[in-house]
């Protein structure tokens, strides 16, 4: 048995190209002008039409435009809903907050950015009720100390807020359009991600939770749909991630989390992009991914020194690009990867306890269209089997 295998095969198509179709609109109904008996417009009819038009116009410009308050059900004024403000705000000092309403509750139908070390409190936002987007950028905040809970109807960005410890006043009131939480070194909880009401069930964008060195857990247990990718990396105290209900997702990268001991798995049948699990020093096991059938990018399992097996991969059949399994010193079992129907390239190297036959089985038993590199695993006499 040779310790290294190099095979080059001609590429073959993975699937047929998608096609788009269009449907012709149904013919319009005949207008009133073509009727034999024309409609008579009476004075009463005209008056009713004018009053209806005025009512609609008033509804569009008055108040909060129908936006519901968040967890604080008192977020209305005595004479109607909160004031609607259709613009973005950038605030770098307490003085900048003077541009915001000083009385009554209000909703910002735009992006609110608070930036810099001069921002030590959010109390100066007064009766703010909600925003489309919230960006806290290198502030000196220790907590979200708004006077009422603050609802988010779009993207949340928190970067470099090194004194911020929690997010208890925030909630996602609808599907988020993206979440970036990076470099908040005192942050110990991600409250709005795990609320039971309102639940964060969908993110139409990316989630990146990186470099938050005090964060112990990521509570995404209500998330079912992620149209972008998930990146969780560089969180030194992270011990758990909950993705149990995730059925739709883009790429996934779980990397450089030195205390993460296990992953719970997820319910998605397809990962639309790469799946990478890298450099997690204490990761011993992967949760079940029994529904996973296809990864449209590459699968990389690299540098996880105590990961013993890949039994989580029970149903995977297609990897559109490459499979790379390297530098996992304790790995002894590749699970069902030898039963893949199709993949592009294979690299399985430097896994000291993985018997080389188990690696060769992936090469011998699966159809692939590019080079296989299999070496520096445990070179023990054995027989490769495809059963």
Q: For the chain, which residues make up each domain, given as ranges? A: 70-225, 289-387
**The pLDDT of residue 80:** 63
Q: Give the pLDDT mean for 199-209.
A: 98
> Percent of the chain having pLDDT more than 70?
79
* The pLDDT of residue 382: 86
- In angstroms, the Cα distances linking 265 to 56, 138, 186, 256 are 49, 33, 27, 18
Confidence at 384, pLDDT banded by 50, 70, 90: confident
State residue 387's pLDDT score.
Answer: 79
Sign (positive or negative) of CA dihedral 74, 131, 146, 143: positive
CB 282 within 8 A of CB 305: no
pLDDT more than 90, % of the chain = 74
Confidence check: pLDDT of 125 > 60: yes
Give the pLDDT of residue 68. Answer: 58
Closest CA to 165 of 148, 149, 141, 182: 141
Is the pLDDT assigned to residue 269 strictly greater than 70?
yes
User: Concatenated DSSP letters for 97-145?
Assistant: GGGS-SSS-EEEEEEEEEESTT---SGGGTTEEEEEEEEEES---SS--
Separation between Cα atoms, residue 286 and residue 307, nearest integer Å:
8
In this predicted structure, what is the pLDDT of residue 47?
34
Token pair for 359: 């690696």
Question: Tens of pLDDT along 169-193?
Answer: 999 999 999 999 999 999 999 999 9
Residue 9 pLDDT greater than 80, yes or no: no
- Residue 72 sits at φ, ψ, to 5 deg, of -90, 100
> Which among 9, 104, 1 is positioned nearest to 371, based on CA atoms?
9
Q: Under a CB-based contact definition with an 8 Å cutoff, are residues 359 and 332 in contact? A: no
Q: Give the pLDDT mean for 78-99.
A: 89
**Stretch 1-6: mean pLDDT, rounded?**
43
pLDDT in tens, 353-374: 999 999 999 999 998 888 999 9
DSSP β-bridge partners for residue 262: 285
Distance CA 338, CA 162 (A): 46
pLDDT for 264 beyond 90: no
Lowest mean pLDDT among 52-66, 82-96, 141-155, 329-343: 52-66
At 77 the pLDDT is 55
Answer whether 206's CB lies under 8 Å from 182's CB: no
8 A C-beta contact, residue 81 and residue 63: yes
pLDDT, residue 74, reads 54
The runs of H, that is alpha helices, within the chain are 43-61, 356-365
Asked if residue 198 has a cis previous peptide bond (ω within 30° of 0), the answer is yes
Could you give the C-alpha distances from 205 to 120, 152, 226, 273, in angstroms and in order?
Answer: 29, 15, 7, 14
The pLDDT value recorded for residue 71 is 53
CA distances from 370 to 271, 274, 346, 365 (A): 22, 18, 8, 14
pLDDT number for residue 368: 85
Residues in CB range of 52: below 8 A, 6 or more apart: none
Of 37 and 95, the structure prediction assigns the larger pLDDT to 95
Q: What is the mean pLDDT of residues 306-320?
A: 95
């Amino acid at each position: 048995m040779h310790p290294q295998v190099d095979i080059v095969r001609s590429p073959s198509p993975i699937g047929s190209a998608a096609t788009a179709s269009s449907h012709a609109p149904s013919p319009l109904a005949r207008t009133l002008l073509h009727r034999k008996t024309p409609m008579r417009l009476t004075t009463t009819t005209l008056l009713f039409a004018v009053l209806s038009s005025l009512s609609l116009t008033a509804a569009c410009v008055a108040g909060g435009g129908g936006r519901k308050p968040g967890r604080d059900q008192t977020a209305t004024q005595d004479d109607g809903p909160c004031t609607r403000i259709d613009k973005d705000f950038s605030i770098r000092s307490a003085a900048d907050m003077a541009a915001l309403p000083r009385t009554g509750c209000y909703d910002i139908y735009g992006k609110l950015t608070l930036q810099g070390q001069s921002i030590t409190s959010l109390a100066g936002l007064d009766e703010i009720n909600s925003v489309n987007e919230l960006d806290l950028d290198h502030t000196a905040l220790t907590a979200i100390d708004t006077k009422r809970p603050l609802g988010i109807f779009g993207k949340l960005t928190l970067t470099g807020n090194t004194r911020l410890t929690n997010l208890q006043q925030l909630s996602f009131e609808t599907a988020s359009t993206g979440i970036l939480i990076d470099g908040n070194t005192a942050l110990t909880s991600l409250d709005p991600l795990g609320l039971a009401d309102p639940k964060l069930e969908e993110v139409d964008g990316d989630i990146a939770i990186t470099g938050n060195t005090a964060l112990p857990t990521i509570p995404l247990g209500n998330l079912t749909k992620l149209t972008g990718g998930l990146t969780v990396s560089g969180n030194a105290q992270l011990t758990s991630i909950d993705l149990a209900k995730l059925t739709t997702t883009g790429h996934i990268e779980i990397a450089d989390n030195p205390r993460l001991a296990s992953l719970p798995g997820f319910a998605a049948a397809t990962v639309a992009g790469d799946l990478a699990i890298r450099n997690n020093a204490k990761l011993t096991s992967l949760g079940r991914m029994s529904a996973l059938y296809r990864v449209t990018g590459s699968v990389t399992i690299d540098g996880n020194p105590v990961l013993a097996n890949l039994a989580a991969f029970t149903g995977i059949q297609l990897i559109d690009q490459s499979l790379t399994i390297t530098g996992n010193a304790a790995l002894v079992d590749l699970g069902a990867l030898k039963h893949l129907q199709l993949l592009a390239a294979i690299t399985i190297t430097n896994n000291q306890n993985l018997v080389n036959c188990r690696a060769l089985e992936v090469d011998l038993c699966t159809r692939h269209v590019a080079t296989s590199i299999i070496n520096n695993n445990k070179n023990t006499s054995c027989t490769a089997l495809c059963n």
